[in-house]
A and B are shown apart, each in its own frame.
Chain A
Amino acid sequence: MERAEIGEISLEVLTAGEGRTLLFLHGGDYFAQHREFFERLAQRWRVIAPRHPGFGGSTRPDGFRTVHDLAYLYLDLLDRQDLRDVVLVGSSFGGWIALEMCVRCLQRVGRVVLIDSVGVKFGGREARDIADVYALPNAELLRRMFFDPARAAPDYAGLDNDEATSIARDRAATALYGWRPYMHNPGLCQWLHRVRVPTLVIWGENDGIVGPGYGEKLCRSLPDARFQIIRQAGHYPQIERAGEVADAVERFARAEVL
């Protein structure tokens, strides 16, 4: 895999395809399961998919502790590469990063796609908007994560040590950034009006981690957003329905007016 150097930070990054730039920000897990989705996207876009600092083989400066650091890092990335009119796509935890970027600066962002995003808290203090993935038995976790776990859930037994270590690092880094407050920024909701850019909110119909009702609320909280359900898909519709999600991104991002 290629690497991108941003200041002192060295990121694992997948770049593929040609054309307008699509920056994909991944979620907490299952990075390796995105191959088909990336291939589909690369047929139409220049895809940049960095692995976040601390994840996989990417380094993390000691001071990087919050999603705010990631948001500024990727805003820096857009500046340094002088990218314009970028299609910014974020899945799950990556959707949270995308939102944090957009409330800060929209200068280089043309369109936003949020896929089963987290990052915002809508319910009261005793409501659990986002399933506690760290407290779920594995079988239930997979049932909530995927429409069809038997097909989508990876088998880890055959991994080599490097691959397994990469995934362990993904999970530790997700915990580092998202443990408490759990997968959200309590202050973010009050700034969502700043995301004044056409936004598509995509949701897996069967997402048991953060349900479609949350997605609809998120959509309503954004100034220029529309909502699209992907059937027979869980928290990572781009893994279970790669072609369908890639098509949805395409239709949305190519449209002059929606």
Chain B
Amino acid sequence: MKVWHFSEMAYHPAWPQLGESYRVIVPSRLYDPKIGADLYHRYLDEWALCDELGINIMTNEHHATATCADSVCTIPMAILARETKKVRLLALGMPIGNRNDPIRVAEEYATIDVISRGRLEMGFVKGVPFEISPANTNPAELMERFWEAHDLILKAMTSHDGPFNWEGRHFHYRQVNVWPRPWQQPHPPVWMPVGSPGSASEAAARSMTIGVLNTGWVRTPAIYEAYRKTAAETGRAVTLDKLAYMALIGVGETREEGWRRADQILGYSRTSGIVAPQFMNPPGYASDAQSAQALKTSGAGFRAGRIQSRDGRNLDPRTMTVADAIDAGLVFAGTPDDVFDQMRAFYDHVGGFGHLLMMGQGGLLDHKETVANLTLFSREVLPRVGEVAA
């Protein structure tokens, strides 16, 4: 089991002023670059510490939002590629259906892979619906663009005999010739975040590693099952290292301390879904059936029911308590033993996974507390993670 530390590098000082949308329409006058610089440096310090703690590193990106000030996932990775020496670097990742230039993505990833001497894991991300507006990509063609970009990037990274031609539906180049070539051969491992069984099957058919985020106790088993089923059907070996799960983790010397940390990290879950409704379901993004349902319920139902308790109650992420979130399988929190036990129970429930994407910092959890959280996890939980499968 590999463990990764993830933070969205939130610009939380703006949160109290944001009202009903934390994304898309938030004016950047609410961002103070001096405070922002301090925050970037502390988040980078926390990731750099992971190199000593034996915890791998995960970044992501979102746009036009104060919930995630990492708008280019490869920038912190480029810094960390040099600043760290041992751990692996997962960018989860690049919204390749929303970016206009897949060749640039191949170049960024290949450069980080070489600088880090082969420690990059590269994520390709569809992107949540409210990423459409900042990129102004056609939502009705998003997945086509995604897969075409995916194919082009992998071909560009694995072609070493001079230029090739690419005249696809969405991307056109006549002299594709990416330098540098990546360190890892044939290319760094490929990941995709997945939130539904359908997406899991698409990833399985390509042997991608799936990062399953915020799906919890109720929705995760069907996603892993779809992956295993499709992998078996297409004759691919299903190893646990193809399955990742993200949990918010607060660990403390006492249960109270662990829960207090988890409560602050939950600031992530409580804010990340606060989006003006008109950006929640751009036409063509979701299936016709999903959009029809949203139409009948004035959009209210579109993302409802995404977080459920074990007994099937819908949980409102804005008001979710630590106890709710533990029950829902989104949070592992408490003493090191508590965290281990919750993780093992979840592991057994879903049939196992090979990567724990640990959100060790989120929301208002400050630097000192984050360092304590990561350090205690590294000392007391990390040495035991191999036992979950036992």
- With both beta carbons as reference points, the residue of chain A lying nearest to B284 in the complex is identified as A172
Query: Which A residues are in CB contact (< 8 Å) with B278?
Result: 134-138, 141
B139 touching A159 by the CB < 8 A rule?
A: no
Complex-state Cα separation, A172 to B282, whole angstroms: 8
Query: Which A residues are in CB contact (< 8 Å) with B133?
Result: 134-135
> Is A105 an interface residue when CB atoms closer than 8 A count as contact?
no
Query: Which B residues are in CB contact (< 8 Å) with A172?
Result: 139-140, 283-284, 288, 291
> Is A222 an interface residue when CB atoms closer than 8 A count as contact?
no
Interface size on B, residues (CB 8 A): 27
> Is A255 an interface residue when CB atoms closer than 8 A count as contact?
no
Q: Which of B283, B296, B299 contacts A171 (CB 8 A)?
A: B283
B296 touching A159 by the CB < 8 A rule?
A: yes
> Is A174 an interface residue when CB atoms closer than 8 A count as contact?
yes
Interface centre among B139, B283, B289, B291 (most CB of A within 10 A): B283
B284 touching A176 by the CB < 8 A rule?
A: yes
B295 touching A179 by the CB < 8 A rule?
A: no
A165 touching B136 by the CB < 8 A rule?
A: no
Complex-state Cα separation, A165 to B293, whole angstroms: 8
B138 touching A179 by the CB < 8 A rule?
A: yes
B140 touching A176 by the CB < 8 A rule?
A: yes
Query: Which B residues are in CB contact (< 8 Å) with A136?
Result: 278
- With both beta carbons as reference points, the residue of chain A lying nearest to B276 in the complex is identified as A137
> Is B27 an interface residue when CB atoms closer than 8 A count as contact?
no
B140 touching A173 by the CB < 8 A rule?
A: yes
**Shortest beta-carbon distance from B55 to chain A in Å:** 40
**Shortest beta-carbon distance from A242 to chain B in Å:** 24
Complex-state Cα separation, A175 to B296, whole angstroms: 20
> Is B163 an interface residue when CB atoms closer than 8 A count as contact?
no
Instruction: Answer whether A174 and B295 are a contact pair too, CB < 8 Å, given A134-B278, A135-B133, A180-B136.
Output: no
> Is B323 an interface residue when CB atoms closer than 8 A count as contact?
no
Q: Which of A157, A161, A169, A175 contacts B139 (CB 8 A)?
A: A175
Complex-state Cα separation, A173 to B140, whole angstroms: 8
A180 touching B292 by the CB < 8 A rule?
A: no
B141 touching A176 by the CB < 8 A rule?
A: yes
Complex-state Cα separation, A137 to B295, whole angstroms: 14
> Is A167 an interface residue when CB atoms closer than 8 A count as contact?
yes
Complex-state Cα separation, A156 to B283, whole angstroms: 16
> Is A164 an interface residue when CB atoms closer than 8 A count as contact?
yes
Interface centre among B25, B279, B295 (most CB of A within 10 A): B295
> Is B17 an interface residue when CB atoms closer than 8 A count as contact?
no
Complex-state Cα separation, A159 to B295, whole angstroms: 9
> Is B165 an interface residue when CB atoms closer than 8 A count as contact?
no
> Is A168 an interface residue when CB atoms closer than 8 A count as contact?
yes
Query: Which A residues are in CB contact (< 8 Å) with B140?
Result: 172-173, 175-176, 179
Instruction: Answer whether A168 and B139 are a contact pair too, CB < 8 Å, given A134-B133, A135-B133.
Output: no
Q: Which of A156, A157, A168, A175 contacts B288 (CB 8 A)?
A: A168
Query: Which B residues are in CB contact (< 8 Å) with A65?
Result: 141
Query: Which B residues are in CB contact (< 8 Å) with A169?
Result: 288
From 59 to 95 in chain A, residues with beta carbon under 8 angstroms from any chain B beta carbon are 65
**Shortest beta-carbon distance from B323 to chain A in Å:** 35
27 contacts between A and B (CB under 8 A): A65-B141, A134-B278, A134-B283, A135-B25, A137-B277, A138-B299, A141-B278, A156-B296, A157-B297, A159-B296, A161-B289, A164-B292, A164-B295, A164-B296, A167-B292, A168-B283, A168-B289, A168-B295, A169-B288, A172-B139, A172-B283, A175-B138, A175-B139, A175-B140, A176-B141, A179-B136, A179-B140
Which residues from chain B sit less than 8 Å from chain A, CB to CB? 24-25, 133, 136-141, 276-279, 282-284, 288-289, 291-299
